[in-house]
Structure 1
Amino acid sequence: MTDVTITVRGEHEARVAPEEAVAHLTVRAEGPERGPVVEQIAALAAPLREDLAARKDAGALVDWSSQRVSVWANRPWNNEGKQLALVHYASVEITATFSDFAVMSWWLTDVAERDGVQVDTVTWRLTPATSKATESEVAAQAVGVAVDRATAYAAALGLANLTPLEIADVGLLSRSSDSPAPAPKMMRAMAMSMDAGSAPAVELQPEDIVVTAAVEARFVAR
């Protein structure tokens, strides 16, 4: 039998418990005059910033950030189609990254009850070191799956000598110009959204981070 070219796809998936949680908050204020609104947003955001800075210094917080205050104004309309007086708005977004989920839960329960503070989402993630190691391991496992498939195909044809020719992420393997490339399957992480604005307590149920890898490989079997 002449040489046979075998092209296969290998996939692998791993589920890892999240190590960090990023809480996203928005502080809002509004009123008829710009000056008091700016002062109000500063008064609302200052205690949060001070608390987060103290937690970071004490080692109870991985990191935090706060954007500049955004200020704008518009003239709203009532139900009768009449344009009302000018209203000024101000907001600032704050993010805080925790490694202790219990501490974050208590903190969110507290800040969600404060005037002008809205808890938007909580995003779960791995540390950079764990993420890199997991991605490498999952990619290697995907290559192993591709090799096993190609070996099985070759054995079914009565061929025992398998030589790798090409391996690439999905969609990057060389192909004829008229062959459509499949959409790449990217590594992904699952996130949980929450709205704690009206809740007396915040319950967190983090889902595992799902890391996937897919490769295409081409072999020649003899």
Structure 2
Amino acid sequence: MAPLTVTVTGSSSISRQAERGVLTVSAKSEGPEKELVSHEVTSASKELHRMFTELSPKTETGAATEDAPITVFSSTMLRTGFYDQPQPDKTRTRVHTATSSYSVIFRNLAKLGDVVGKLMTHPHVSIDRVEWKLTDATIKSLHSESRTLAMENAIEKAEDYARVVGRKVFAREINDSAHGNQVAMLQQQQQQQQQFQMARSAVHGSGVGPSHDGSVDMTPQDIRYTGSVTVKFESEPEM
């Protein structure tokens, strides 16, 4: 009897709570006076830089200390521009714009909530987004765990099929496709933005948003790590 061939795809899914919060925030202003707009953004950007610097103390090597709420942050240069705004009398008014952005990685996620709450009330600061991430060490560990679980799942499937026809199989070929492993958010960016909108509403008197101490609840999202592997199994030919 010819050997039995069984090809199956094993899969795995592992969830972990986010360990880092990446805050993207911008200093922005616009108005009829170019110098005033630039000054407002420059001033707000200096405030942000001072705040983030205080929250990211360094060791002698330049790395963040172990208890630093922020591990690293970066900023863009001041960008200016303008656009012409139509008026009811069909004329146009020149509006000048200025912006500068920061990307900040928080280790202390409670402190992230404090900072977001404070920045919500700043007239020239915009919370662009918060992204949840795992550390490199955790991702590396999940790579291995995900591959193991996917392979075990493939073996279980193959043995189920083979048992029905009274055969035993062994792995002959393993295909670890490039798209097999990925990190996927369990919640969508839209939900994050909704939280920011609710917090901004409190600034305008709706009563929803930052708590009494000025912080925003930034509960870390769960991150799902998925993996897959395609395995070809064969049985020994029966005599």
Q: For each residue in 1:34-70, what CA deviation from the matched residue of structure 2 results, as whole angstroms up to 9, or x when unmatched?
A: 2332222101110111110121116221111111222
Q: CA RMSD in A?
A: 2.0
Which residues of structure 1 form unaligned runs of 5+?
Answer: 173-183
1:189 and 2:189 correspond:
no
Q: For each residue in 1:104-159, what CA deviation from the matched residue of structure 2 results, as whole angstroms up to 9, or x when unmatched?
A: 11111111111111112211111111011112211221011111211222222222
Counterparts of 1:79-94 in structure 2, within 5 Å, are 80=88, 82-94=90-102
AA aligned to 2:220 is: P
> Aligned pair in 2 of structure 1 residues 73, 145: CA closer, same or farther (>3 Å)?
same
Distance (Å, rounded) in 2 between the aligned partners of 1:93 and 1:45: 8
- Length, aligned pairs only: 208
Counterparts of 1:135-146 in structure 2, within 5 Å, are 135-146=143-154
> Aligned pair in 2 of structure 1 residues 163, 55: CA closer, same or farther (>3 Å)?
closer
AA aligned to 1:214 is: S
> When the two structures are superposed, what TM-score results if normalisation uses the length of structure 1?
0.85
**SS of the residue 2:101 aligns to:** strand
Structure 2 counterpart of 1:131, from 134, 139, 155 = 139
> When the two structures are superposed, what TM-score results if normalisation uses the length of structure 2?
0.80
Which residues of structure 2 form unaligned runs of 5+?
Answer: 59-67, 203-208, 211-215
> Aligned pair in 2 of structure 1 residues 100, 163: CA closer, same or farther (>3 Å)?
closer
1:37 and 2:26 correspond:
no
Structure 1 counterpart of 2:110, from 83, 102, 115 = 102
1:76 and 2:76 correspond:
no
Q: For each residue in 1:189-210, what CA deviation from the matched residue of structure 2 results, as whole angstroms up to 9, or x when unmatched?
A: 3155232434351222322111
**SS of the residue 1:197 aligns to:** helix
Structure 2 counterpart of 1:208, from 212, 218, 222 = 222
> Aligned pair in 2 of structure 1 residues 163, 47: CA closer, same or farther (>3 Å)?
closer
